[in-house]
Amino acid sequence: MIQRGDAEMIRLTTSDRPHKLYRMFCSLAPLARPDPLGAIALGVAIFFSTMNPHPANAQEKKSKVTGGSSVRSSSAASELARLRADVIEKMKESRAGTKKLLALHEEQAKRLTAEFQQRRELHNQGLISRAELDQSEQALIAATARVEEDKRWITETDIAITEASMRDVLLGLPAMAPGGYSESGTLIRFNGAASWSLSDAGKIEKFFSQTFGHDLPISAFGQTLTHDRLKFDHRGAMDVALHPDSNEGRSLLSYLRQAGIPFLAFRGAVTGAATGAHIHIGRPSLKTAVTAESPSECCKR
Ligand SMILES: [Zn+2]
């Protein structure tokens, strides 16, 4: 179990840019954790295999049935809500498992760090070969990558749980005029009027790296498998793992407002997640996702 994904993660930590890393990570993570997420995927696949894949036809048929449509749509909505609640519950369980794995991996990295330092000393004294030292270093790099992978996955999960859990709250908020801004204890909203798309992400990344000297911590770029499972349309948005009240978070929000780029900033912790605070750049993900691939295809990966 501890060996999973080593090669991929070592590659990921070397030269890829952060959003690529995260996108690759998002596609790798479900493979790396087949037990809980595999169960979710199976559940989603079974559920959606029972749904009509042609909503337009379904609507046509419904209109012919007098009085039955509202009952059926309410039933579909409650079924979707039940599915999402189930997926969120499974994600929380999976998160708890990863948290335990993280503790093991951190312990392992600590031990390998001590071993590497000891071997370096021995090598300096000419008592062991360079190859023996390199072996120890490679083991340490792999262990560090595992720790980082666990942390990234936990962060991504917390953020997805937060957005999923806040969806009903967002749906209940009054519509906001273009350029409108509002702030509460849990949420900051800005309905920027600029036309925004993910292709503009580079400008934000550039601003951030030039200001803070490191990469923008993007946790989800566009639609990920997690959003597919939750049936959320996240295609035109990206999530940044920054607390909106941190120095970097405040600076980013100020930049986005100046550029007229819409965002939602989540401040608070959600039950079952340690934090989940982040900045969602783009319009809110309130629509139900329609993905090009069928659910069964998406969840086999
Ligand atoms: Zn988001």
**Domain range summary for the chain, segments of one domain joined by +:** 4-54, 177-300
Indicate whether 265 pLDDT > 70: yes
Of 28, 43, 24, the closest CA to residue 230 belongs to 43
pLDDT at 166: 87
Choice between 46 and 175, residue whose per-residue pLDDT is larger = 175
For range 21-45, the mean pLDDT: 40
Report how far ligand 1's centroid is from the alpha carbon of 285 (Å).
7
Indicate whether 291 pLDDT > 60: no
Please, what is the average pLDDT of the chain? 78
Cβ distance 173 to 189 under 8 Å?
yes
Report how far ligand 1's centroid is from the alpha carbon of 233 (Å).
9
Indicate whether 214 pLDDT > 80: yes
For range 78-84, the mean pLDDT: 86
Exposure of 249 by Cβ count < 10 A (0-12 exposed, 13-18 middle, 19+ buried)? buried
Report how far ligand 1's centroid is from the alpha carbon of 60 (Å).
33
pLDDT at 181: 97
pLDDT at 78: 85
Going by pLDDT thresholds of 50, 70 and 90, the confidence category of residue 290 is: low
Task: Give the contacts of 37 (CB within 8 A, at least 6 positions apart).
Answer: 29, 30, 90, 94
Cβ distance 9 to 146 under 8 Å?
yes
pLDDT at 69: 67
Per-residue DSSP letter, 199: G
pTM score, whole prediction? 0.69
Going by pLDDT thresholds of 50, 70 and 90, the confidence category of residue 53 is: very low
Report how far ligand 1's centroid is from the alpha carbon of 82 (Å).
21
Which residues make beta-bridge pairs with 288?
232
- For the record, the structure tokens of 164 come out as 């999923």
Choice between 229 and 297, residue whose per-residue pLDDT is larger = 229
Cα angle: 48, vertex 52, 57; to 5 degrees: 155
Helix (H) or strand (E) holding 214: none
Choice between 236 and 268, residue whose per-residue pLDDT is larger = 236
Report how far ligand 1's centroid is from the alpha carbon of 77 (Å).
22
Per-residue DSSP letter, 232: B
63-to-58, 76, 136, 203 alpha-carbon distances in Å: 9, 16, 68, 47
For range 155-163, the mean pLDDT: 90
Going by pLDDT thresholds of 50, 70 and 90, the confidence category of residue 269 is: low
Report how far ligand 1's centroid is from the alpha carbon of 212 (Å).
22
Report how far ligand 1's centroid is from the alpha carbon of 221 (Å).
9
Report how far ligand 1's centroid is from the alpha carbon of 100 (Å).
26
Report how far ligand 1's centroid is from the alpha carbon of 99 (Å).
22
The percentage of the chain sitting over the pLDDT mark of 90, rounded to a whole number, equals 53
Report how far ligand 1's centroid is from the alpha carbon of 237 (Å).
6
Cβ distance 293 to 252 under 8 Å?
no
How many angstroms separate the first and last alpha carbons of the chain?
A: 19
Report how far ligand 1's centroid is from the alpha carbon of 134 (Å).
41
Report how far ligand 1's centroid is from the alpha carbon of 206 (Å).
20
